[in-house]
Amino acid sequence: MKPLQGKVALVAGATRGAGRGIAVELGAAGATVYVTGRTTRTQTSEYNRPETIEETAELVTKAGGTGIAVQVDHLVPEQVQALANRIEQEQGRLDILVNDIWGGEYLVEWNVPVWEHSLEKGLRLLRLAIDTHLITSHYVLPLLIKNKNGLIVEMTDGTAEYNEQHYRLSMYYDMAKTSIIRMAWGLAQEVKPYHCAAVSLTPGWLRSEIMLEHFKVTEENWQDATSEEPHFLISESPRYVGRAVAALAGDPDVTRWSGQSLSSGQLAQVYGFTDLDGSRPNCMPYLVEVIEAGKPADVSGYK
């Protein structure tokens, strides 16, 4: 019996990256997973990338779940409302909401002060990163709170502790990622009377499709990138944070985490899951204790 058999999940923003990894691992645990995004086999988003929601849905089904691709622009309330209505009509329930919508990789201008950063790009980034999550929660949560033990996972970059001590090199990026952590905390208060939980979750150094392209490697030979960046040894596949979500979703006592800021590496130590290669990277402390401390790359004790 798969731990999430009979459960219904929505991974909003599942075209690629962490969203795809999460959707696949929820499928591997037996869930029915609705995967949303803007890029399909017939239509691309402003990203102009090859990954599609249909591919993600097929990977979910191949992993052992049921993947259902739905094209949704989460900035368009009518589309999100239609999505919520469809899930209710087809499944009658929703147990897991993963808000992984982002869309800002090509909009951030790193190490550029706010008065020089493109205002148009910055405001677009905030809409994609924050408004989408609020719109999705508005329409989807009425279905999720109908059942006890519902789980909301707000995906971000960095833990609350890390982001409080580090400026994320762009006013807009910093605001986007720290806002999601606060959003998860607020949602935890609002869904508590319904015996549901909300958390924020960050992966470590994620080997997303875009990151792999940056280093000109694939998931199969990613370690070749360590010749250019030795600290890339601490990186993790998108499936690792996916296993973190699946572990949370399968925990009958998941409300113990509600309102907290969590990381994939932290949860791996609690639940005992590993990355695809059997390793257990714990990136957040490595960032501070090794990289920022100026030490040479050494993942001993962190992986």
Residue 284 structure tokens: 């957040």
Confidence of residue 182 (pLDDT cuts 50, 70, 90): very high
Residue 133 structure tokens: 């999550």
CATH topology of domain 8-208+237-283: Rossmann fold (3.40.50)
- Residue 45: beta bridge partners? none
For residue range 213-224, list pLDDT tens digits in order: 999 999 999 999
Residue 88 and residue 263: Cα distance in Å, rounded? 31
pLDDT for 1: 79
Calculate mean pLDDT across residues 62-74: 98
Calculate mean pLDDT across residues 177-194: 98
Q: Tell me the pLDDT of the chain averaged across its residues.
A: 97
pLDDT for 266: 98
Rg of the chain (C-alpha set): 18
Confidence of residue 174 (pLDDT cuts 50, 70, 90): very high
pLDDT for 292: 95
For residue range 71-112, list pLDDT tens digits in order: 999 999 999 999 999 999 999 999 999 999 999 999 999 999
- Residue 200: beta bridge partners? 154, 261
By percentage, how much of the chain surpasses pLDDT 90?
98
For residue range 9-45, list pLDDT tens digits in order: 999 999 999 999 999 999 999 999 999 999 999 999 9
For residue range 111-135, list pLDDT tens digits in order: 999 999 999 999 999 999 999 999 9
Predicted structure pTM score = 0.97
CA angle 176, 200, 27 (to 5 degrees): 115
pLDDT for 288: 96
Calculate mean pLDDT across residues 272-287: 97
pLDDT for 226: 97
Calculate mean pLDDT across residues 138-157: 97
- Cα 240 to chain centroid distance, Å, stands at 11
